[in-house]
Amino acid sequence: MTQPPLFTEPVTLKRLESHLWEAANILRGSPVDRTDWKSYILPLLFFKRICDVWDEEYQETVELYGEDFADEHRFQIPADCHWQDVRETPSNVGTALQNAMHCIEAANQAHLYGVFGDAQWSNKERLPDPLLKDLIEHFSSLPLGNKNVASDIIGDAYEYLIKQFADATNNKAGEFYTPRSVVRLMVDILNPQEGETIYDPAAGTGGMLLAAVEHVRANGGDPRTFFGKLYGQEKNLTTSSVARMNLLLHGIEDFAVERGDTLRQPVFTDPASGGLATFDCVIANPPFSLEQWGREVWE
């Protein structure tokens, strides 16, 4: 792998938002349906971000110690699985990308297992090599490390992209996205406090959990008191992956967002009682129009 040059120019939120939406425009007119854009664009953003951060950590560690150490990295990037390795792949790019993502998940199981979702990267009818190369080159043109983009900026840009995808899909948006004005109102009413456990049984893209953290920060509290106390469950595989990437990009690492049907197969239990877990705060915008929601289980 050829080490890419490190840039120090800060990237503004406006520039990053524009850059990300241009990535979506590359898929416009392609075999990828617009309802699936998020399944490809969001994982690419996350992959590029963690690799750029890894490069910064590598440079800093080598300058300090003369060699690299795995413990100095937030996430591990196995050999031949870096963004630059995929970028330099001449053919079968989708397969190389998919393999890299799977290996990164396996090397970081505690935080990243399954985080990239299940997009069909190796399906050349959907993503031919030239199209995927265009996407990769587009993302390669902008540095996304910590020196260029703070976690709050990239987190806000990620949320912007989620909203844009929701607007583009119109009637399907409610399956994974709640308008942020509604989220803020609900969180203000709930008024979560420092250190409380918060659960969203219909987590979607994680917006309500993030809003709860931001609510405490805006009121002078320490958001780190929520680490290890944010819980969510989401039935849709892609959406649950989006939620986890969303939290990680906002700098939150210690949380539990699990995939599964909240009513039929609730994930979170209380080891002491053997029953369902309880939480200080519960907030959700469940899919009210869902007809087959599991009534038979509870009757």
Does residue 142 sit in the same domain as residue 260? Answer: no
C-alpha pair distances (Å), 60 with each of 53, 67, 77, 115: 11, 10, 16, 27
**Would you say residue 259 lies in a domain?**
yes
Does residue 49 sit in the same domain as residue 157? Answer: yes
Does residue 21 sit in the same domain as residue 140? Answer: yes
3-state SS, residue 282: strand
Q: Domain boundary at 112, 139, 168, which? A: 168
Higher pLDDT, 34 or 4: 34
Task: List, for residues 235-254, the tens digit of each pLDDT value.
Answer: 998 899 999 999 999 989 89
Does residue 210 sit in the same domain as residue 137? Answer: no
CA distance 54 to 35: 31
Domain CATH code at residue 282: 3.40.50.150
**Would you say residue 60 lies in a domain?**
yes
3-state SS, residue 159: helix
Does residue 61 sit in the same domain as residue 31? Answer: yes
Residue 221 has pLDDT above 90, yes or no: yes
CA distance 83 to 224: 30
pLDDT-derived band of residue 8, with 50, 70 and 90 as boundaries?
A: low
- 99-135 burial by CB neighbour count: b if 16+ within 10 A, else e? bbbebbeeebeeebeebbbebebbebebbeeebbbeb
**Would you say residue 1 lies in a domain?**
no
User: Considering the chain, what percentage of its residues have pLDDT values greater than 90?
Assistant: 72
**Would you say residue 5 lies in a domain?**
no
Residue span of the structural domain in which 190 resides: 176-286
CA distance 193 to 196: 6
Q: Domain boundary at 108, 139, 168, which? A: 168
Does residue 88 sit in the same domain as residue 234? Answer: no
* Threshold 0.85, pTM exceeds: yes
Q: Domain boundary at 113, 142, 168, which? A: 168
**Would you say residue 101 lies in a domain?**
yes
| Number of domains making up the chain | 2
Averaged pLDDT, 186-196:
96
